[in-house]
Chains A and B, each alone.
Chain A
Amino acid sequence: MQERSGFAQCQFKHSCLKVEMSSKTLSSGSIAQARRTVQQLRREARIERIKVSKASSDLMRYCGEHAKNDPLLMGIPTSENPFKDKKPCTVL
């Protein structure tokens, strides 16, 4: 089997491995598949939806409430940053 080089060249998604996208219509496939599709669409159609204004304000509120705990927004004090190399003390 072509080992390393074949693998290295093979961009999984951009070659033979990707399944051909099947037709979006129901013309292909069996009746059973079509029934499943309709059943799924019925399931998705009947869910309850909230207003976009409420969804947006809830997201904004969450961001606001948690901003102070977000190191990327607030920065991390050196003493609390486990990744920052602490400068060694010099002994005189």
Chain B
Amino acid sequence: MGEMEQLRKEAESLKDQITAARKAVQDSTLQEAAAGITVVGRIQMKTRKTLRGHLAKIYAMHWSTDSKLCVSASQDGKLIVWDSVTTNKVNAIPLKSSWVMTCAYAPSGNLVACGGLDNMCSIYNLKGKDGNVKVMRELAAHTGYLSCCRFISDTEIITSSGDCTCILWDIETGTQKTVFAGHQGDCMSLAVAPDFKFFISGACDFTAKLWDIREGTCRQTFGGHESDVNAIGFFPNGNAVITGSDDATCKLFDLRADQELITYQDSSIMCGVTSLAPSLSGRLLLAGYDDFNVNIWDMLKAERVGKYMWKLYIPLENGRKVDPAEDSEGSSRVAAGTEH
């Protein structure tokens, strides 16, 4: 038997082993475990603020850790830092490339980053001496578009790319520290674990992968989706991962049980999920869809408990507005009106 054939057989055998090991711990389901609790009541959302200023499609936004400031990136070639309470623009940063697809706010609040079809991740210092916001670094190495970026600290950032890899960068030197290769399709989004030791990525190979940041290895791979995984996030305690896909479903994967626990789907939902965010307690899942709706799911019961058109509100998560509405295409406005 040639080595190729041997390797193929071993791979198949290992895949079977993984399937069997997952089944072996399947003594129950989340559905059964949650049978005794009642679905949460209908969630009412009210629009509170409208952040006006972008002149074209907003592709991404990210909250600062203070829950007041946020940054948004638009096809109009601008990165805007907003004070969401006053709706004032704190910074309006012109970009070299208007083909921006993602943006991120550093946990410290000192830096923001963005990137897109330029294949680069540009870092901007918001707290420069003379008050002007300037490009601090341009991280170039990806051979495909930048789909997502998230800061670990002021000195490290992780990026995901259409070149199927994720990269951990040293911002000070502008060099790659680690390349995370393994996905067989464009990486579409990433999320960093609450303890900053791991990150997860969703890709066009229909899987999500959990990566050990320091080891540089993939620890686990989660399949099950029937199309691209566009959005990904951690359950608040870091023990589970939520994914959103073009297959119109979201899924909850438990990291320690190494398997899917539940799928959030409804026969009336036929379009892809573009973004998602769990509520503070993890009980609710807010997911944005291609039809400009945001659906709110009871995460334990897998039932829809709210549905809103982007125009009518800003969803509040933890007193903060979340991604989903803004990520859907079509408008420079984030919400409309304040009366309800």
Contact = CB atoms under 8 A, between A and B. Distances in A.
State yes or no: do A and B come from one complex. yes
Interface of A: 4, 7-8, 12-13, 17-19, 21-22, 24-27, 31, 34-35, 37-38, 40-45, 47, 49-60, 62-63, 65-67, 69-73, 76, 81-85
14 contacts: A7-B75, A19-B162, A19-B185, A41-B11, A45-B18, A47-B220, A53-B27, A54-B257, A56-B261, A57-B33, A66-B281, A71-B319, A81-B319, A85-B48
Contacts, number: 206
B224 interface: no
Which 4 A-B residue pairings sit nearest by Cβ, starting from the closest?
A56-B33, A66-B281, A83-B48, A70-B281
B294 to A, nearest CB: 12
A66 B299 CA distance: 14
Interface string B1-39: 001100110110011011001101111111011100100
A52 B25 contact: yes
B33 A72 contact: no
A49 B25 contact: yes
Contacts of B300: 59-60, 63
A59 B37 CA distance: 13
Contact of A82 (B22, B85, B144, B338): B85
Given A13-B188, A17-B145, A26 B28 contact: no
A22 B184 contact: yes
Interface string B268-290: 00000000000111111000000
A34 B282 contact: no
Interface of B: 3-4, 7-8, 10-11, 14-15, 17-18, 21-22, 24-30, 32-34, 37, 40, 43, 48-49, 57, 68, 75, 84-85, 98-99, 101, 117, 144-145, 147, 162-164, 182, 184-186, 188, 204-205, 217-221, 228, 230, 235-237, 239-240, 246, 254, 256-259, 261, 279-284, 299-300, 315-319, 338
Main DSSP-derived SS at the A contact region? helix
B280 to A, nearest CB: 5
Contacts of A8: 57, 75
Contacts of B259: 49, 52
B281 A63 contact: yes
Contacts of B29: 52, 56
Does more than half of chain B's interface fall in helix, strand or loop, or is it mixed?
loop
B144 A83 contact: no
B25 A50 contact: yes
B240 A59 contact: yes
Contacts of B235: 59, 62
Contacts of B240: 55, 59
Contacts of A7: 75, 98-99, 117
B8 A55 contact: no
Given A25-B8, A70-B281, A73-B40, 20 more contacts: A18-B204, A19-B163, A21-B205, A26-B8, A31-B3, A38-B14, A44-B14, A49-B256, A50-B257, A55-B256, A56-B32, A59-B282, A62-B239, A63-B281, A66-B280, A69-B280, A70-B318, A71-B280, A72-B316, A73-B283
A66 B318 CA distance: 11
A55 B262 CA distance: 12
B182 A40 contact: yes
Contacts of A85: 48, 338
Contacts of A37: 7, 11
Contacts of A41: 10-11, 14-15, 18
B257 A55 contact: yes
Nearest to B339: A85
Contact of A18 (B14, B185, B282): B185
Given A50-B257, A51-B25, A38 B11 contact: yes
Contacts of A65: 281
Contacts of A43: 217-219
Contact of B319 (A22, A35, A47, A82): A82
B281 A13 contact: no
Contacts of B217: 43
